[in-house]
Amino acid sequence: MLNNKNALVTGASRGIGRAIALELAKQGANVAVNFSGSEDKAESVVEDVKQYGVQSIKIQADVADETDTKAMVKDVVNEFGSLDILVNNAGINRDNLLMRMKEDEFDQVIDTNLKGVYQCIKAVSRQMIKQKGGRIINVSSVVGVSGNAGQANYTAAKAGVIGLTKSVAKEFASRDILVNAVAPGFISSDMTDSLTEEQKNDILSMIPLEKLGQPEDVARVVRFLASDDANYITGQTIHIDGGMVM
Amino acid sequence: MNEVFDKVKDIIVDKLEVEEAQVTMEASFKDDLEADSLDVVELVMELEDEFDMEIADEEAEKINTVGDAVNYINSNQS
């Protein structure tokens, strides 16, 4: 499905990013695994990706940093020869009620989750324009659409990603570079594992499908958007949330 | 000077699919050669590769005519 395609997944050392890296590899793509801090985890993702018989490298970079992202894209192109798929997944959260939220907490989340997407798209744009094609998939969140108490910074960034996705989709459409977003809902992760039973039940009561999503549920949609099956889709945000936000 | 112009002309003819005669020093990319903004960005990228130079975004924004491009290359080529 993605044979001979070359992909870069940001924040791919764990969770949804890791699942995306593995899913793309399973379909035949070579995958560059970006990470910021957890080198050991990134290395183990690289090893897992290689199990599918494709190439893989790990690259440390702060996605919000222009120099870092430029160097990262250069590394990928040097290693793989081209860059066909960019998945902007790297994200952090610094949850707090707005009245208690420090400026620093707001800035950090906007920097990584929104500016990081801008930096990475800018860094790959030249390469993709030269290739006359490419796929960019941004990981937003349903709370970017619905809002969520305690996450003003995070939801602002994730809503921003949706707007960014639409504008860039319009700018690059003539060059056959398709830009879409996915908006996961509550996905099983280290974070959801640490919730209390009561918190979990509260969450489940908001989800029509009455269960948490799995990272693979998101990864399969990303794989679809990266494939030729999605040739006529751009500027869209696909919710993967069990019906939580309609 | 002529050599640079000829090279630039070749690239423009190829990229924008225009006739050689249309590519004069005075020709504006957007008004006369029907290039859109992204075409101009691409063209600048091609020129960077061809002449092995980097044109900063601020400089690239000032390139509106074929002459602007030729003059920039002439005065910045090492």
Percent of chain A with pLDDT over 90: 93
Percentages helix, strand, coil for chain A, rounded to the nearest 5?
Answer: 50, 15, 30
Cβ-defined contact of A130 to B45 (cutoff 8 Å): yes
Min mean pLDDT across A3-7, A99-103, A186-190, B1-5 is at: B1-5
Alpha helix segments (H runs only) across chain A: 15-26, 39-50, 66-80, 103-110, 116-131, 143-146, 152-172, 190-193, 197-204, 215-226
Q: CA B18 to CA B29: how far, in whole Å?
A: 11
Q: CA A202 to CA A42: how far, in whole Å?
A: 33
Q: Which pLDDT score is estimated for A28?
A: 97
Q: CA A32 to CA A69: how far, in whole Å?
A: 13
Q: Which pLDDT score is estimated for B78?
A: 65
Percent of chain A with pLDDT over 70: 100
What average pLDDT does the structure give for chain A? 96
Average the pLDDT over B34-42 and give the result.
90
Any CB–CB contact under 8 A between B41 and chain A? yes
Q: Is the pLDDT of residue A117 over 60?
A: yes
Q: Which one, of B69, B72, B44, lies nearest residue A130 by Cα?
A: B44
CA–CA min distance B42, chain A (Å): 8
Average the pLDDT over A53-81 and give the result.
97
Any CB–CB contact under 8 A between B36 and chain A? yes
What confidence tier does B77 reach under pLDDT thresholds 50, 70, 90?
Answer: confident
| A133-161 pLDDT per residue, tens | 999 999 999 999 999 999 999 999 999 99
A232 is annotated as an active-site residue:
no
Q: Is A10 in a helix, a strand, or coil?
A: coil
Average the pLDDT over A219-235 and give the result.
98
Q: Is the pLDDT of residue A92 over 80?
A: yes
Q: Which pLDDT score is estimated for A193?
A: 81
> Which residues, 6 or more positions from B20, have their beta carbon under 8 angstroms from its beta carbon?
B9, B13
Q: Which pLDDT score is estimated for B1?
A: 54
Question: Which of B14, B16, B40, B42 to probe the A interface (max A CBs under 10 A)?
Answer: B42
Q: Which pLDDT score is estimated for A55?
A: 98
What confidence tier does A190 reach under pLDDT thresholds 50, 70, 90?
Answer: confident
